[in-house]
Amino acid sequence: MKKSVLQLFIPTSCVLAPVSAWAHTGVHEMMGRASGFIHPITGADHVLAMVAVGLWAVQQGGRALWAVPVAFVVMMMAGGMLGLAGVALPYAEQGILMSVLVLGAVVAGAFEMPLAFSASMVGVFALCHGYMHGVEMPSAANAVPYSLGFVLATVLLHVAGMSMGVILRKLSTEKAMRLAGGAITLGGIYLSIG
């Protein structure tokens, strides 16, 4: 009996807690990190593109394994700063959609490209993603924790794509990796008409 009362008391007290308690700086930072972390993982366009980056990095291998995801993260942070600063970046949303379509297609086609070109292409797409993360930052969030949140989510999505790619490689199923790229492109097509 005591356990059930306690289980009811804790969630109820959290819901009924005064809003002024949320004014504490630590809570805003926690909300900033959480908001920043949640933003990339709640948008299918962001998830598909970031997983595709991880898959493509594994597919290319060598230095691309770390250089392509790092280029994405660095340029995404630059885009985030532009968005937070209120700088206009025309066609950012179209750039995000193109990132899903193109990155899915390069995985599906198993295209090998020079590292500088791959990193640059991914960097342009990342600028668009970061820009939208910055523009869509909630007004109550602190920019630094929010940015750390979306960077962490991005890295984890890249790692998820890379892990998927490594597993598919070990299973000697390059065809499955290419099918995953095709599925990402189809997801981009769906997003473009939806």
DSSP for 11-76 reads HHHHHHS-GGGGGSHHHHHHHHHHHHHHHHHT-HHHHHHHHHHHHHHHHH-TTHHHHHHHHHHHHH
Q: Which residue ranges make up each domain of the chain?
A: 25-193
Q: What is the mean pLDDT of the chain?
A: 83
Quick: pLDDT tens for 124-152: 999 999 999 889 888 777 888 888 988 99
User: What value does the mean pLDDT take over residues 116-120?
Assistant: 96
Residue 21 scores a pLDDT above 90: no
pLDDT of residue 32: 63
Angle, nearest 10°, between helix axes 174-193 and 143-170? 140
Cβ contact 128:71 at 8 Å? no
